[in-house]
A and B are shown apart, each in its own frame.
Chain A
Amino acid sequence: MAISMCSWRVTSSIAAARKSDLRGPSGTARFWCLRAAETYVFHFRGARLIRLENVTKIYNSEVTALRDATFDVAKGEFVFLVGASGSGKSTLLRMMNRQESPEKGAVWVAGRNINEMPDSKVPHLRRNIGNIFQDYKLLLNKTVHENVAFALEVIGRPKHVIRQQVPAVLDLVGLNGKEDRFPHQLSGGEQQRVSIARAFVNRPLILLADEPTGNLDPATGEGIMRLLDRINKTGTTVVMATHDQRIVNMMRKRVIQMDRGIIVRDQARGVYE
């Protein structure tokens, strides 16, 4: 009972976040009187969804992957993390859903310091964060439909919800009629669309994409970017790590540039350079 109460609190704070944003800064979500929700409202007057504060990550006490990284991401923003391989882009993304924890500093998501969150609440945090990878990470023994349904199944969504949401999201990513194919029967671009569908099917607040176009030819990559842009326009915040210069220059979104673990540039409507 206690656990389910807690999980409800986390989700409700995020639900509150959505409501307050819809109503604008004046319509605060005081209705959600739980503390988590209040914390959210406090932090989200400025619609700040992710905040990194002096985050430092050191691997094996010698390799510094991140040094003193500080930035905010507003709700609904589209952010590119750019930089050479090993500059700390992926580590930054992994900080945001607590796959990694910083040695110093704090990561705030939806108004909560996720490093201080007990392990038992991490799954509920992750239900609000979709992940996309360069290598898609699809389950090869499952069909397109099963791959997407799996994401709902393992968080205990009832069958009728799955039956309703999976076709809708497959439609959104343009995979109509390919529900019963297996990943090896799809092109790279289609596989990435499946992975986007899986990440988005639960309507997360945040989408973290780690080099999603890295394995795709330019035209296919552009298609994926158009899809991510559409998803972003529905209000989902997108943080994408890439070193695809062409795509960054084409999109003209906010660019955070990393160099050996340090943020060297943070520019609105930026280019790759």
Chain B
Amino acid sequence: MLSRLAYTFRETGASLRRNITLTVAAILTSAVSLFLVGGTFLVQRGFDNLLSKWAGGVQMIVYVSPTATPDQIANIKSALESSPTVVDVGKLEYLNFEQSLAEAKRLLAADPTTFRLLNEANLPTEFKVVPKAGQLNVLVQLANGFAEVPKVQKVVLARDQVEQISKLRDFVQTVTVGLSVLLLVGALILIWTTIRTAMFARRREIEVMKLVGATNWFIRIPFMLEGLIQGLIGALMSCGFLLFFNRLWTNGVVKLKGDNGFIALVVSDSFLNLVMLLVVLFGMAAGAIASGVAASRFLDV
């Protein structure tokens, strides 16, 4: 068993060295493509964060002053419920302090200092309002009226923010997904070619191995390991890119401070780590499988 392992690693190492140019090309391509795959996830998550408070068809948010008493909150609620033809009362949702804080935590992932300053005395609670079908325009007209109700801090309409952002998100998503798929195909083709070249360089050895009765798996595994290592190095490089660009992005977004809510475009570290882990696993699996298939393709029994 040990001698088999030693054999596998020796062969893999020799093969990687022998094909150095193709190996580097395969690694770089997979690094860039995996970076784009990971980047797609991050951008997606950023936009989702930004739009999350509008999820579920919410078109209007009524922020309630933290100083409002339960009576006053009930008062605001009944004001909203007084127009059942416009407001979908069944979907009317009130986020109390804890729920608002949970939402703020997600939106302020990039700005923990601000988040820590939030407390019951300064964080507004909120009503999320979903209009009845076709009643959006009426709701918009009513918005100013709700702003007059006592202890309503602010009324925000989705229309002002969401549409532009959604369009931007769709555009960015199409571009990154398209590019990453293209590059991924390129990376796989390069890994395939590397393995084919490696097998061609060792065709006599493979012929001898088959004739003396080595199993196909025994022949295939060093090549699969080679693909796996290429995928792994590419993935690790892409993780470096992801860390670097995420930091750059976070710093840039944090500088945009203000009430624009763009701070939500930043993703949490735990999500970044998850994406990096997925990228590494995916890179390794794709490399190993592509080279395994390539090896089988050229291993006629």
Contacts and interface: CB of A to CB of B under 8 A. Distances in A.
A97 B213 CA distance: 10
Contacts of B204: 137, 139
B207 interface: yes
B212 A137 contact: no
A198 B212 CA distance: 9
Contacts of A99: 211
B3 A151 contact: no
Nearest to B301: A119
B208 interface: yes
Interface in B261-296: none
A29 B219 CA distance: 35
Given A137-B204, A137-B207, A139-B204, A155 B212 contact: yes
Contacts of B210: 123, 126
A158 B3 contact: yes
Interface in A5-24: none
Name the interface size band of chain A. Answer: 20 to 34
Given A122-B301, A137-B204, A139-B204, A155 B213 contact: yes
Interface string B211-234: 111111011000000000000000
Nearest to A155: B213
Contacts of A192: none
A154 interface: yes
Which of B3, B213, B218: most chain A CB closer than 10 A? B213
B208 A126 contact: no
B215 A151 contact: no
Nearest to B207: A137
B301 A154 contact: no
Interface in A94-128: 97-99, 119-120, 122-128
Interface string A55-75: 000000000000000000000
A154 B214 contact: yes
A120 B215 CA distance: 8
A144 B213 CA distance: 20
Contact of B213 (A119, A126, A150, A198): A126
A155 B213 CA distance: 6
B7 A151 contact: no
Contacts of A155: 212-214
Contacts of B211: 97, 99, 126, 131
B76 to A, nearest CB: 69
B223 to A, nearest CB: 14
Given A156-B218, A158-B3, A159-B3, A151 B301 contact: no
A139 B208 contact: yes
A20 to B, nearest CB: 23
B209 interface: yes
Interface in A214-232: none
A153 interface: yes
B288 to A, nearest CB: 21
B4 interface: yes
Given A119-B301, A137-B208, A139-B204, A153 B7 contact: yes
B4 A202 contact: no
A102 to B, nearest CB: 15
B218 A154 contact: yes
Contacts of B216: 119, 123
25 contacts: A97-B211, A122-B301, A123-B210, A123-B216, A126-B211, A126-B213, A127-B213, A131-B211, A137-B204, A139-B205, A139-B208, A151-B208, A153-B7, A154-B213, A154-B214, A154-B218, A154-B219, A155-B212, A155-B213, A156-B4, A158-B3, A159-B3, A198-B212, A202-B212, A202-B213
5 tightest Cβ-Cβ pairs between the two chains A and B: A127-B213, A126-B213, A154-B214, A151-B212, A123-B213
Given A125-B213, A139-B208, A155-B214, 10 more contacts: A98-B301, A119-B301, A122-B301, A127-B212, A131-B211, A137-B208, A151-B212, A153-B7, A154-B209, A202-B213
Interface of A: 97-99, 119-120, 122-128, 131, 137, 139, 150-151, 153-156, 158-159, 198, 202
